């Protein structure tokens, strides 16, 4: 018997995990990326129209009669299949009123077979046809444009979304801001805590571990309810402050259902993700480094700044990166306690996946978030590699 090459054995060992990752992770991400630029729904419904409009230059006004004919034929076919409402709803998502136009037109064609222009004057508007031409192209940039508050005018130029409809750039900004603040607070609160954890006696250590792991062991709903009870305007904290005359009845603190609610609760939930990697790093630093520093003449402050802090930096970076990246994707907590001002980009993604069913836009927003995370991760790994160890 010939021996298996070690190379092949290696592959066999990682294959199950590879397949698992491929199926559960890479494939969905690939699907999402694809979905954000590929939308064949209208092209599939209006096959003939698509062909007929292929050669039409949008700058030349209305398309030729073959375009009108093709659309009539497509609508008649769809009426037969009962798929007019699907087309109507899909186009309506791009422009309000299209549902009504398509349904009226399809009904009229089915009954009298009249020319489109007689059925509704909107078919004389080149913009309607531009929309159809764009929508029948399966490959599209419109989701990515929407995701950064841009739109394409019927004339083809790319302009910013109307002031009253801009939202995503603003929310991306807020998301990054929130993630940064949460990360910063986690560092400030978590560093001393991790140190205490790493240096505590066993009994104290168990207690501290319990405290830091508590959010992991509590269900999301219980945790959130607890925060609401604690933080709301008539909650425990405010009652105490009012009773102690620190704040007045009129000026109770708004700690929840706004940005501060999102910040407080996210910090609480994500703190373990910062503390645990840092704790692991701190635990791995032998006492003798600090001793060496002292013996070489460094006082406590300088030992900390010059030796302990730099040596724990990989843990700080790892923990901070974890918290930051998780923050970028948080949406359940902001949805529950964030109120209006505490909503993040992920809430919009969830909205488009679950409620508006605009999966293309959700995919585009998700892809942008993914790119931000990947870029940050790469930057971070470069810093860690160059920096320490």
Q: Answer for the pair 127, 154: CB distance below 8 angstroms, yes or no.
A: yes
Which of 78, 88, 197, 266 is the binder for another protein (CB under 8 A)?
A: 88
Of residues 318 through 337, those in contact with another protein by CB under 8 A are 335
Over its C-alpha atoms, the chain yields an Rg (Å, rounded) of 29
Q: Answer for the pair 170, 87: CB distance below 8 angstroms, yes or no.
A: no
Q: Closer CB to another protein, residue 52 or residue 307?
A: 307
Which of 57, 286, 385, 386 is the binder for another protein (CB under 8 A)?
A: 286
Q: Closer CB to another protein, residue 1 or residue 301?
A: 301
SS3 assignment, position 56: coil
Verify binding: residue 233, another protein, rule CB under 8 A: yes
Q: Answer for the pair 114, 108: CB distance below 8 angstroms, yes or no.
A: yes
Rounded distance between C-alpha atoms, residue 175 and residue 346, angstroms: 8
Which of 56, 68, 257, 324 is the binder for another protein (CB under 8 A)?
A: 257
Verify binding: residue 5, another protein, rule CB under 8 A: no
Tell me 164's DSSP state. G
Verify binding: residue 297, another protein, rule CB under 8 A: yes
Verify binding: residue 40, another protein, rule CB under 8 A: no
Nearest to 150 by CA among 168, 174, 126: 168
Rounded distance between C-alpha atoms, residue 158 and residue 139, angstroms: 17
Q: At closest approach, how far in Å is the CB of 382 from another protein?
A: 16
Rounded distance between C-alpha atoms, residue 206 and residue 200, angstroms: 9
Q: At closest approach, how far in Å is the CB of 345 from another protein?
A: 10
| # chain residues binding another protein, by CB under 8 A | 57
Which of 73, 76, 122, 166 is the binder for another protein (CB under 8 A)?
A: 166
Rounded distance between C-alpha atoms, residue 161 and residue 235, angstroms: 41
Scanning 65-73, 137-145, 190-198, 348-356 for contacts with another protein by CB under 8 A, the matching segment is: 348-356
Which of 35, 50, 99, 134 is the binder for another protein (CB under 8 A)?
A: 99
Q: At closest approach, how far in Å is the CB of 61 from another protein?
A: 26
Phi first, then psi: what are they for 38, rounded to 5°? -125, 120
Q: Answer for the pair 42, 135: CB distance below 8 angstroms, yes or no.
A: yes
Verify binding: residue 8, another protein, rule CB under 8 A: no
Nearest to 314 by CA among 388, 377, 373: 388
Q: At closest approach, how far in Å is the CB of 97 from another protein?
A: 6
Q: Answer for the pair 42, 90: CB distance below 8 angstroms, yes or no.
A: yes
CA 26 to chain CA centroid, nearest Å? 17
Scanning 67-75, 177-185, 226-234, 326-334 for contacts with another protein by CB under 8 A, the matching segment is: 226-234
CA dihedral of residues 296, 301, 306, 310 (deg, nearest 10) = 130
Which of 204, 289, 379, 381 is the binder for another protein (CB under 8 A)?
A: 289
Phi first, then psi: what are they for 57, rounded to 5°? -85, 120
Verify binding: residue 171, another protein, rule CB under 8 A: yes
Phi first, then psi: what are they for 150, rounded to 5°? -115, 160
Sequence-ordered list of residues with C-beta below 8 angstroms from that of 196, at least 6 positions apart, any chain:
208
Which of 32, 33, 43, 89 is the binder for another protein (CB under 8 A)?
A: 89
Verify binding: residue 85, another protein, rule CB under 8 A: yes
Q: Closer CB to another protein, residue 15 or residue 236?
A: 236
Residues that bind another protein (CB under 8 A): 85-86, 88-89, 92-93, 96-97, 99-100, 164-167, 170-171, 174, 228, 232-235, 257, 286, 288-289, 291-299, 302-303, 306-307, 310-311, 313, 335, 339-340, 343, 348, 351, 353-358, 387-389
């Amino acid at each position: 018997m010939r021996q298996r090459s070690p190379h092949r054995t290696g592959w066999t060992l990682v294959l199950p995990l590879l397949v698992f990752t491929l199926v559960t992770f890479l494939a969905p991400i690939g699907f999402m990326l694809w979905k954000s630029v590929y939308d064949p729904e209208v092209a599939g419904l209006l096959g003939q129209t698509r062909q007929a409009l292929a050669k039409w230059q949008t700058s030349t006004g209305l398309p030729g009669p073959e375009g009108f004919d093709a659309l009539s034929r497509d609508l008649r076919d769809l009426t037969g299949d009962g798929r007019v409402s699907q087309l109507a709803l899909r186009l309506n998502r791009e422009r309000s009123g299209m549902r009504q136009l398509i349904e009226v037109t399809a009904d009229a064609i089915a009954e009298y077979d009249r020319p489109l222009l007689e059925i509704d004057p909107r078919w004389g508007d080149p913009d309607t046809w531009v929309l159809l031409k764009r929508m029948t192209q399966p490959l599209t940039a419109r989701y990515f444009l929407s995701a950064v508050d841009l739109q394409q005018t019927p004339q083809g130029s790319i302009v910013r979304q109307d002031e009253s409809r801009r939202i995503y750039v603003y929310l991306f900004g807020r998301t990054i801001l929130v993630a940064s603040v949460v990360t910063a607070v986690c560092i400030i609160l978590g560093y001393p805590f991790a140190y205490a954890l790493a240096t505590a006696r066993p009994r104290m250590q168990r207690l501290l571990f319990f405290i830091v792991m508590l959010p992991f062991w509590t269900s999301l709903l219980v945790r959130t309810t607890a925060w609401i009870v604690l933080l709301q305007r008539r909650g425990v904290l405010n009652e105490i402050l009012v009773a102690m005359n620190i704040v007045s009845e009129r000026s109770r603190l708004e700690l929840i259902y706004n940005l501060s609610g999102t910040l407080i609760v996210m910090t609480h939930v994500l703190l373990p993700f910062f503390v645990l990697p840092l704790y692991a790093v701190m635990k791995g630093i032998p006492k003798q480094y600090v001793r060496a520093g002292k013996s070489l003449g460094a006082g406590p402050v300088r030992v900390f700044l010059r030796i302990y802090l730099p040596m724990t930096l990989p843990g700080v970076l790892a923990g901070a990166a974890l918290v930051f990246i998780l923050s970028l994707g948080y949406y359940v907590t902001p949805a529950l306690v964030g109120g209006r001002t505490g909503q993040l980009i992920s809430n919009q993604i969830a909205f488009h996946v679950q409620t508006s069913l605009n999966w293309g836009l959700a995919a585009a927003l998700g892809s942008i978030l993914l790119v931000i995370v990947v870029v940050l991760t790469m930057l971070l790994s470069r810093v860690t590699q160059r920096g320490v160890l």
